[in-house]
Amino acid sequence: MKFETKTVHWADRKKQGNYIPVTTPIHTAASYVYDSMDQLDRIFGQEEQGPSYARFDNPTRSTLEELMRELESGAGAVACASGMIAIHTGIMAALLDRPKRIICASAIYGATAHLLMNILGPLGVETTMVDLCDLKAFEEAVAEVKPGAVIMETISNPLLRVGAMDRISEICRRANAPLIVDNTFATPLLVRPLELGAHITVHSATKYLGGHGDVLGGVLVADQDCYDAAKSISRTLGPIMGPFDAYLTLRGIKTLGLRVTRQNENACRVASYLASNPNVERVYFPGDPKHPDAETIARLFPKGFYGAMVSFELKNAGRAEVFRFMEKLQLVVRATSLGDVHTMILYPAMASHRDLAPKQRQRLGIHDNLVRLSVGIEAVEDIVADLEEALSESRQ
């Protein structure tokens, strides 16, 4: 069954008594009753599948987990209350019986860096930041640090670098250090990290999976060893996605293939336009033939698919000029998210990487004139026209 067909049909339409609903219902019960105490005992002991208590299981959430397990080719999935708790759960699962040392890609989402440095750090977890696009430097760091886990993004936020995940995973497996991949920007339509050797992949379901700006959630998919640990952590701590968000995510995934394909097509045209605009200093886009990771992108991504994120720097601009440009936009939405059907723009220095010190942002190449664009499904001519007008008017 092809990917797009799975998004529509997999795990759906389960029999309920003597009928089959055409879509998975929203189950809100906190606990469940069975006719036989023996059966309830088996379910509590996880010897038989079935819900017993909402922290452990929920039929709506379980359907989402079954679908995501299939789409990401994993042993199992855990649907969480947010993308950040999905990452946190993945880290805990990876480090349960391993050294409390992490190697993290230096190009990473600001909240992930904050989690590692300011929350897990004081608890004794050591983090070393490394440029994972430099395989030699990464391999040397693994030999020196001897990490318990490695963390990276398929497409980095916000400069859109792409590490050689297949080769990175080989190094991780030799070192017995599970590779955790945030696959939010790519989605499983473009890349399935577990198929490339990763141990855990996570998503912010708020983004492309939900796709309509009305969900808060995250999903973790893992191989068997890491899944067992993650499921145990989830059953104990309860960082779970609620049934309403699970339902909305399931509904969103049904159109994931259509939406992401259109968004990718639009992003290619928007990136090309921005590269030709005299008010734009530099464009960051994985489809650029001169992208520093072009060889890796060609090897790992489907032909013609580069993701729908485009970052760019405004020429001779600082914070005030960036704000003026963004305030001129009429169609593009100024909001802190991505992956929605509508095109969205964000200022990383103010939002996604706000927690990083200015000098650290500069060191990472996140300059004060950088903006990040999440391209939507609108008519691309309208997106370009809005950008064109805002870029022109902000310079007057």
Q: What dihedral do alpha carbons 177, 178, 184, 189 form, nearest 10°?
A: 120
Annotated catalytic residue 328? no
Catalytic residue among 109, 208, 273, 306: 109
* CA atoms within 13 A of residue 41's CA, in its CB half-sphere: 3
Tell me phi and psi for residue 16, to 5 degrees.
Answer: -125, 100
Query: Could you give the 3-state DSSP secondary structure of residue 192?
Result: coil
Annotated catalytic residue 208? no
Annotated catalytic residue 55? yes
Catalytic residue among 6, 42, 55, 235: 55
* Joined tokens for residue 121: 């750090």
Annotated catalytic residue 223? no
Q: Which residues contact 273 (CB under 8 A, 6 or more apart)?
A: 384, 387, 388
Catalytic residue among 57, 182, 223, 368: 182
Catalytic residue among 161, 207, 262, 372: 207
Residue with tokens 């399935």: 192
DSSP structure class, residue 183: -
* Joined tokens for residue 118: 């300011």
Alpha carbon separation from 329 to 73, 166, 311 (Å, rounded)? 40, 40, 16
Distance CA 184, CA 205 (A): 8
Distance CA 191, CA 377 (A): 20
C-beta separation of 219 from 78 below 8 A? yes
Q: Which residues are catalytic?
A: 55, 109, 182, 207
